[in-house]
Structure 1
């Protein structure tokens, strides 16, 4: 079974679109269609319905095997590549926007190698570390006190906790809740929110934490600049939940979240035991 055909099939299934898969894979739509058709011929079964693009029963079963298999192949390729002499290029650290905090900024000046900091959506970082595009990764998310590592979706990567911080709701200074000492998440289910899945805490995490749908978006922001997100909250475009370490924008305030008792956790990801100089930066980030 050809790994390239599998990768195309997984991409089409994830995006539910042949054109979108072609754009992501950097090839023509006809190439994507040929790859899927070739895989179907090899297995002797239809794997996708075309309108809408959803996996068949056989396709869903193949998907269960294909995703971890491709992740393992990427990990194997990256592990073998690390046996080669170290390149002269920089150490690449991929980080989610909310993972770029005081601990990281303090560690960078003391790094023993030139570092490229690549800010990316959190869901893209485990794959980048697995396939060797990045040497280290910093991901973040909501957690309860004492919940175990690693975070979901990190596969075979090693995970170490970097920081944990309480959370605060950012809202305009004129908001009725602005002068409260604390706020409960349940009070905000009917509020208007900024949906910023890359730069802030995704709304689906708030829904999961509260166990309700709620948390309706008033505006969607697809960027990764946290300062823009806080400015949107200050302008009354919607509320946003951020780590307490993030300062509020002018004309805004950050009210602590007191219930439920959630934390914002930043986790360092790396494959196995990182070699120098990645190991040095990892040690500075985790305090190990």
Structure 2
């Protein structure tokens, strides 16, 4: 980290942003259009950065990073994100306290307790992928974030390290396996993952709970994906489960009472659905009120 911040001090972040954009688009002209520069200015930025570092960063025909350029890209993303986070933190401190509230959340983090606590007006709700929510909070695109996932009871979630953020557990609840009503295991009082070694699973990272945690805790690798759903609609996910396209795991509050499926508690491995609140810097106005309401009862109060 010290090396990264040393690099940040030593180079112009405007040049670094230009380089990252050119490398991503593999085109000087496309990067110029996206950044609002002339193509000549983009070329000058890249040349200045290469001169500063004493290394060629891009081949020109085709436009691809060199070995040194690939290494710079590894550093550039976190550095630029930290700059954006620092800017957003200062803007938050200077902004008027009564601005609206933007909340970024995964669909399964929006349980009844969260919905009941939302202000009656002035809220923008953004459904995002789990890994995008810390970035949204760090850069000021959202005032608060709600992320969720599978964890051992009372264990924190594993979140990407994008910037210094405040995290607090706001809810834990059991999880259930959703099976079609006619499935041979649908009437079981509980299921072990070992009971499902031959099962076909739905991989729905945007709508349901990610399967990678189940794979990590199964000890047998017995989580085989049959269909991947890339949307965020829970109803579509449960309809796929009801139609027999694969099993899925959902928090108990979302799993019960769904037409066409049986929700059987997952009893082994012992994991829970955990929700955490993310914030950056001092909170004001509606964001502060919502954060106090969600954290008042602690993680067992969801």
TM-score scaled by length of structure 2? 0.78
Between structures 1 and 2, the one with greater helix share = 2
Distance (whole Å) between structure 2 residues aligned to residue 22 and residue 216 of structure 1: 44
Closer/same/farther in 2, CA of residues 41 and 90 from structure 1, 3 Å limit: same
Matched with 1:206 is 214
Closer/same/farther in 2, CA of residues 200 and 42 from structure 1, 3 Å limit: farther
Closer/same/farther in 2, CA of residues 89 and 146 from structure 1, 3 Å limit: closer
Where do residues 34-113 of structure 1 align in structure 2 (5 Å cutoff)?
39-40=49-50, 42-47=52-57, 58-59=68-69, 61-86=71-96, 90-108=100-118, 111=119
Distance (whole Å) between structure 2 residues aligned to residue 236 and residue 90 of structure 1: 43
Of residues 160-169 and 244-253 in structure 1, the stretch that sits farther from structure 2 once superposed is 244-253
1:261 aligns with 2:270: yes
**Conserved in 1, the CA contact under 8 Å of 2:203 and 2:210?**
yes
Closer/same/farther in 2, CA of residues 280 and 189 from structure 1, 3 Å limit: same
How far apart are residue 256 of structure 1 and its match? 0.7
Q: Alignment partner of 1:201: what SS?
A: coil
Q: Alignment partner of 1:246: what SS?
A: helix
1:283 aligns with 2:298: no
Distance (whole Å) between structure 2 residues aligned to residue 76 and residue 127 of structure 1: 12
Query: Deviations for 1:22-47, whole angstroms, at most 9, x for unmatched residues?
Result: 99989999999997777555434355
Closer/same/farther in 2, CA of residues 258 and 91 from structure 1, 3 Å limit: same
**Conserved in 2, the CA contact under 8 Å of 1:122 and 1:139?**
yes
How far apart are residue 65 of structure 1 and its match? 3.3
Of residues 71-80 and 27-36 in structure 1, the stretch that sits farther from structure 2 once superposed is 27-36
How far apart are residue 221 of structure 1 and its match? 1.0
Matched with 1:180 is 188
Unaligned runs of 5+ in 1: none
Distance (whole Å) between structure 2 residues aligned to residue 12 and residue 184 of structure 1: 49
Distance (whole Å) between structure 1 residues aligned to residue 132 and residue 149 of structure 2: 14
Aligned residues, how many?
286
Unaligned runs of 5+ in 2: 1-10, 298-302
How far apart are residue 281 of structure 1 and its match? 0.8
**Conserved in 2, the CA contact under 8 Å of 1:142 and 1:264?**
yes
The alignment yields a C-alpha RMSD, in angstroms, of 3.8
Query: Deviations for 1:195-242, whole angstroms, at most 9, x for unmatched residues?
Result: 111111122222122245442222111111112111110111111111
1:235 to 237, 240, 243: 243
Looking at CA atoms only, which structure, 1 or 2, has the larger radius of gyration?
2
Q: Alignment partner of 1:209: what SS?
A: helix
How far apart are residue 55 of structure 1 and its match? 7.0
Matched with 2:140 is 132
